[in-house]
Amino acid sequence: MNPDLNLMLVIIVSAAVNYLIRVVPWFMTRWDTIPLAVRRFLTIMPTAALGALIFPASITSLVDTGRPWAALGGLAAAALSAHFAKNLIIPVASAVAVTWGLLQIPL
Amino acid sequence: MNRIGKASTFGRGLKDALPIVLGYYSASIAFGLLARNGGIGIWETQAFSLFTFTGAAQFMALNLIAAGAAEGQIILSYFLINLRYTLMSAAVAKKVETRKTFQRPLLAFGVTDENFAVTTSQEGQVSPSYQAAVELAPWAAWNLGTLSGWLFGSVLPESLSAAMVSSLYALFMALLLPDLKKGWPWIITAASAAALNTVLDLGTNLGSGWSFVIAMIAATIVGMFVIPPESSDGGSGDSGANKADSDTFHPPTATPEAGV
């Protein structure tokens, strides 16, 4: 089958745009010369990013299943096991198990 | 002086990437399947995953193609949805101890929400080989999932694949928990980001890209007000005087706060 050249072009331009977004910060000025406020911003930002990454996407990703609230069970399981586990795989595995279990409950 | 913490080897990176691999594989099966259902060929579908490697924007592109959107609109959407990577990439670049210039353009390619979260949660600096592993393994999983989704469709029952995709949010939660334990200022920062993103994403027409960027920036600024400087200045604050000041590894010393 012949690839759709027009679509391929869109993909390549999108990829270039996407790469530029990611690569530019790697060539910014040395970090020790940037203002303290900017460094504070970048240190605090991951915490804010995580909050915004979890909500609302965790809930909306389960809308198709009819039980979006199951996400809250999974998140609670992840937080609880992350409190005790030192690694990441146990929280993730327990969240998958709890979410799956909640999705089995008949509506 | 070695400023790299435990996140120093490729193997360690693979271990930390395992939860991402699990989530990406499941999510990308859905991408491959949806692309095929949308009439997109295997080469184009795979090219999306190989070259753009970006979850939300790829799904958005499928919707736009299905809706018959113009080429420029698809490219613009990619830009808007992925604008956040500029900030995430900056935080990762600050964290990776690159000694050779050629490492930077390579490591810049695979920065995603998930490996950004993993890398920035490490103590101290991370090595380039660690960073390579947390980018490469998820990229491989994303592409393998895309291929198997296009070829074989969803092999998992719907509830199981939905649960598997939720592993990405579980990963975020597991990475967020140590921050939350640092106290109320950090909880307020994360919670305001979550609340604002929810309101903007579901309650306005901004679209998920802008909503996320605005929520993340606004909540970070909230954090800069509520979090005491000594726990978040990313170093001693002695601007430009000493290379070792640029990381978060050394216990920061109390300094007068500048610019906040």
The tens digit of pLDDT for each residue in B221-245 reads 999 999 998 766 554 333 333 333 3
Residue from the list A1, A52, A82 with its beta carbon closest to the beta carbon of B215? A52
**Interatomic CA distance for residues B199 and A91, integer angstroms:** 27
Phi-psi category of residue B237: left, alpha or beta, with phi > 0 → left and psi -120 to 50 → alpha: left
Nearest partner of B97 among B72, B127, B69, judged by Cα: B127
The pTM assigned to this predicted structure is 0.80
* pLDDT greater at residue A89 or residue B106: B106
Report CB contact under 8 Å: B234, A46.
no
Does position A63 have pLDDT exceeding 60, yes or no? yes
Rg over alpha carbons for chain A, rounded to the nearest Å, is 20
Per-residue pLDDT averaged across B132-146, rounded? 97
**Interatomic CA distance for residues B147 and A106, integer angstroms:** 33
- Residue A105 sits at the vertex; the CA angle it makes with B23 and B32, to the nearest 5 degrees, is 30
Hey, which residues 14-73 in chain B have their CB within 8 Å of chain A? 15-16, 18-19, 22-23, 40-44, 47-48, 51-54, 57, 61, 65, 71
What is the predicted pLDDT for the residue at B236? 37
Contacts of A107 (CB under 8 A, 6+ apart): A66, A67
Instruction: List chain A residues with CB under 8 Å of B248.
Output: 43
Residue A19 forms contact with B (CB below 8 Å): yes
CB count within 10 Å of CB B229 equals 17
Residue B214 forms contact with A (CB below 8 Å): no
Distance from CA of A70 to the nearest CA of B (A): 9
Instruction: List chain B residues with CB under 8 Å of A55.
Output: 194-195, 197-198
Residue A65 forms contact with B (CB below 8 Å): yes
Determine the residue of chain B that is closest to A87 in CA distance: B16
**Interatomic CA distance for residues A101 and B249, integer angstroms:** 40
Determine the residue of chain B that is closest to A8 in CA distance: B44
Q: Render B79-135 in DSSP notation, one character per residue.
A: HHHTTHHHHHHHHHHHHB---STTHHHHHHHT--HHHHHHHHTSSSBB-HHHHHHHH
What is the predicted pLDDT for the residue at A30? 67
Residue from the list A39, A49, A74 with its beta carbon closest to the beta carbon of B169? A74
The tens digit of pLDDT for each residue in B25-68 reads 988 998 998 899 888 999 999 999 999 998 888 988 888 888 78
Of the spans B74-83, B94-103, B185-194, which averages the highest pLDDT?
B185-194
B85-to-B2, B142, B202, B213 alpha-carbon distances in Å: 28, 18, 22, 9
| Residues paired with B126 in a beta bridge | B96
What is the predicted pLDDT for the residue at B242? 37
